[in-house]
Structure 1
């Protein structure tokens, strides 16, 4: 299953409804891209949705850390480990 490693956005399920109101199953997938994040001095390649890319682009290290801490319940284990590791 596709999942954003920062915001936790995942696939959505629902019905596609035709003009005659015949319903068929469909899936909405998040637009995931690979991005390199600098977390506590280590560079991580993460799969993030484009909304997260726009939020994180151009931010300095302290601002990125603040955004990640605000979304700590949705973080992937890889980012959480790098974020909370003591150096």
Structure 2
């Protein structure tokens, strides 16, 4: 499933609630998700910003969990958790 323009996916349009619904649903049918986005504005807590922070954490080795369809997006300092 393609998630397009996730820098616009913010609390005001329920993007942070939609993203954690899409990821496990795509996994249930044997699929995955891909995000296409412009650079997020830091501090807006968009889905794209959460993905960016999670990818930095993975790159820096501060998390063993890969950024994948099994992760759940959450706003705030801890963007990914083992919720699923």
Instruction: Tell me, yes or no, whether TM beats 0.5.
Output: no
| Higher Rg of the two aligned structures | 1
**Greater helix fraction, Structure 1 or Structure 2:** 2
> Where is the strand percentage greater, Structure 1 or Structure 2?
1
* TM-score under structure 2 length normalisation: 0.29
